[in-house]
Amino acid sequence: MPVNYKKELESASRSMILIHEPKTLIKLIVRMIVRKVQIKHAAMILFDPQKDAYVLTISKGETGIKIPAGFARFDRNNPLIKLFTQRNVKLPGNRDALLVHDLNTLLWQDSVIKNGNGDAKEFLHTVGQQLQMFNAVACVPAYFQDSLLALLLLGEKTDATGFDQEELGFFSALASDVAMAIKNAQLFDDLKKEAERNRSLFIRTTIALASAIEAKDKYTRGHTERVTKYSLAIARQMAENKSVNFEASFFENLYIAGLLHDIGKIAIPEAILCKTDKLTAEEFEIMKQHPVRGVEILRPITEFEDCIHGVKYHHERYDGKGYPEGLKGEDIPMTAAVIAVADTFDAMTTNRTYRKALTKDEAITEIKKNSGIQFNPKPARAIVELFEKGKI
């Protein structure tokens, strides 16, 4: 049954849109060529930017005939590579694909003779030797703009017939699409690496900010880390008991918000922040400003946008008697509701100058008593379950 090349090209194009990993994509393409066109083997030589060389990366076909992947590496001065990178050679029939029997015809082109490689006959003889070494009867370049990104090497057809014009046109169109897909995949990979670098910088900035709080307030030393750890454990338990269905981004936002929930204390006078006695009503009003001050610090940094609610509202109460806005019930963002439980649990189980720490058992009893009053019942239930499992 004849191959519907238009249909195969459309199918390959759909795959290219969906797959962002070049090697996976090219494996599929090369395998499709071998099966559909019925050739003995095919291989793809890909440009590796890190090695600044062309490497035979993908190979499919009959065992013993196909070229082992990684078998060959070509620098920019290799005759086979140079033949296509110079872009001054006109292939017979204005084709993009090079057939082995084209090499004799190319000898008569001035462009080949003037390629700067000395004797054109010797140059093309080397190209022919390389194709023969790879059992290839055709070679199809894949360009992005003027850059050679890959070479598709094609072995003989299983029925020993030559490639017709339709097949060569299919290979050229496919190579063009592959080049675009490779470039898109490389750009996607570059963006991903850049995002990872930015995220790493973002996390380091967050940790530095968290350290700044601890440097100012000795009480917070260890507190920030513990609240973050408790918050993440509570959220995971909520996911496990299926009380809430979180998106994957929730946990990262919770992690950042946990580290920064007290960042606003940087703006609170040390006389109040480090006071060893209980705060007066006036001092407490000033202390209550720290969530809003935290938002003022973080808002100019767009990367903190998804974490700000956890910082701003972690002192809100489920009954609406919290601060800074008196939010009530489910109006309190879940990030803040989780941190509120974790923050209170750590505060109750930590020694203060004006009171001794409660035991974890006593703290859990308080959280149970205030579930649905001070605390959202879902994170309150989760921390109780964690305590009963011995995980906190």
Q: What is the pLDDT of residues 300-345, one digit of tens each?
A: 777 777 789 999 999 999 999 999 999 999 999 999 999 999 999 9
CA-CA distances (angstroms) from residue 19 to 43, 62, 140, 163?
A: 19, 26, 22, 29
Q: Which domains does the chain have, with CATH numbers?
A: 5-188 (3.30.450.40), 196-388 (1.10.3210.10)
Rounded CA gap, 54 and 68, in Å? 15
pTM for the structure as a whole: 0.54
Rounded CA gap, 377 and 213, in Å? 30
Of the pLDDT bands very low, low, confident and very high (cuts 50, 70, 90), residue 113 is very low
Q: Which residues contact 298 (CB under 8 A, 6 or more apart)?
A: 260, 263, 304, 307, 308, 311
H helices, E strands: number in the chain: 16, 6
How many other CB atoms are found less than 10 A from the CB of residue 221? 12
CB 177, CB 13: distance < 8 Å: yes
Looking at the chain, the whole-number percentage of residues with pLDDT higher than 90 is 26
CA-CA distances (angstroms) from residue 304 to 66, 67, 262?
A: 53, 51, 14
Residue 299 is encoded by which pair of tokens?
């808002």
* Rg of the Cα atoms in the chain: 33
HSE toward the beta carbon, residue 280, CA cutoff 13 A: 4
**Interval 53-69 mean pLDDT:** 70
Q: Which residues contact 342 (CB under 8 A, 6 or more apart)?
A: 226, 227, 228, 230, 231, 234, 258, 379, 383
Residue range 233-261, pLDDT digits in tens: 999 999 999 999 998 889 989 998 998 89
Residue 387, judged by CB atoms within 10 A of its CB (0-12, 13-18, 19+), counts as middle
